[in-house]
Amino acid sequence: MSGWAGAGWAKMGVMSETLAIDEVTELCRDLIRIDTSNYGRGESAGERKAAEYIAATLDEVGITSALYESEPRRTTLVAHWEPEGCDTSLPPLLLHGHTDVVPAVAADWQVDPFAGELRDGYVWGRGAVDMKDFDAIMLAVIRERARSGRPTRRPIRLIIAADEEAGGRLGSGWLAEHHPDTIADCSEAIGEVGGFSLTVEDRRLYLIQVAEKGIAWLNLIADGRAGHGSFRNDDNAVTSLAEAVSRIGNHRWPVRIHPAQRAFLDAIEDALGIEINADTAEETLSRIGSLARMVGATMSNTANPTMLQAGYKMNVIPGQATASVDGRFIPGYEDEFYATIAELLGDKVRYEVETADIAVETDFSGDLVNTMTASLLAEDPGATPVPFIMSGGTDAKAWSKLGVRCFGFAPLRLPPDLDFAALFHGVDERVPVESLQFGCRVLDRFLDQA
């Protein structure tokens, strides 16, 4: 093992380092080989197969689970684990993940995206970082503890959901609405996206997600007067829509600094020895790679036009034109988002909400945060845990509606030169094997104290 990965698994109990390495790596590869591509609508048969695989791996070590389906083969797994010796007077800790992945075009990749190939010390494939890596880490640690008879501090609730990549309507959202009893006794949770390292100059910052933007996916609709393409038309739906789309796409949203964002920027300023101007943060932060785009996206509300539809023939002016907009809002600024969109649309365009979900936030404080910090420092004495706010969304939205305090904590110590943020939903998605091993060691320590 190279130096940056740290020590082996000797501290974790009876399981040898070699066996543990094989366990997490092979679990990750097996999960990647199950094609769970989620195209947003319709069946995702792979989710059922993945849930059955996970259920079988848990059953091998005596942990039973239940499978819930919102629709045929849209399967979410729920497991309750109360090992002998844990403190059952404490509320269960929710560990959550998802099995679905965004689609991959094989021709764009260096490897088959669903082969789970092991190459150059990395596990390659769709889902390697989002988020079959952490699914594998959770399974490897839980299985090792169950086999060796080492209880966690408190009961564990493990939920591996379907449909996260399409907003969770058929996964976490459905489970929270129809089976809230599965989560009701949980007060805290960890899941994606956070706990990974970012090397800035000579410091390793570990980004703990404490907040994420809300979702507002909108359909814009412009109605006009249909007619012959050769006639003048002052009520052209395409024109009205195009103007509104242009206004939205070019709008410069005001900077809104969330407390988690401020703490993250303070850490970056300290590491770089510079002062960051909020208005030019993305340019200044270009030195930290593609993560700068994520940081920039979390300093304001955003709205990006993503699809346009209109017409059926070149010489016919259609009576309606539509567009889709991916909107995200900072916690506390939802009303401002919708008011701004209404103003930018003008009089001739309206919107309908396709998908809406809350922004999530919690404080970077408390016993669970202290345990995350201690677990990271034990495996990496050079770690500096810092909070951050994520531009995307996770299943934490569903759990937080039931009063669960959610963090993104899927620990990975990454090579300094790896552009990790670019791998989320990206081509040639991959995760270092040594990062998987590090994540197992940190999570194991965490479960001793959490």
Instruction: List CB contacts of 446: < 8 A, sequence separation 6 or more.
Output: 190, 371, 372, 375, 409, 411
Contact 206, 195 (CB under 8 A): yes
Query: What φ, ψ does residue 16 adopt, rounded to 5°?
Result: -75, 160
Q: What DSSP line would sit under 213-232, residue for residue? A: -EEEEEEEEEE---EETTS-
Domains annotated for the chain, with CATH where assigned, are 3-210+360-449 (3.40.630.10), 214-256+301-358 (3.30.70.360)
Token pair of 269 as six digits: 């300023």
List of E strands, 214-331: 214-223, 227-228, 302-310, 316-317, 320-329
Contact 351, 341 (CB under 8 A): yes
pLDDT at 340: 98
Q: Is the pTM of this model over 0.85?
A: yes
pLDDT at 18: 45
Of 258, 251, 254, nearest to 332 by C-alpha is: 258
Q: From the first residue on, what is the mean pLDDT of each consecutive set of 10 residues in the chain (450 residues)?
A: 35 43 90 94 81 98 97 96 96 98 95 97 96 97 94 98 92 97 96 91 91 96 95 94 98 91 84 75 68 79 96 95 97 97 96 94 95 97 92 93 97 92 90 96 95
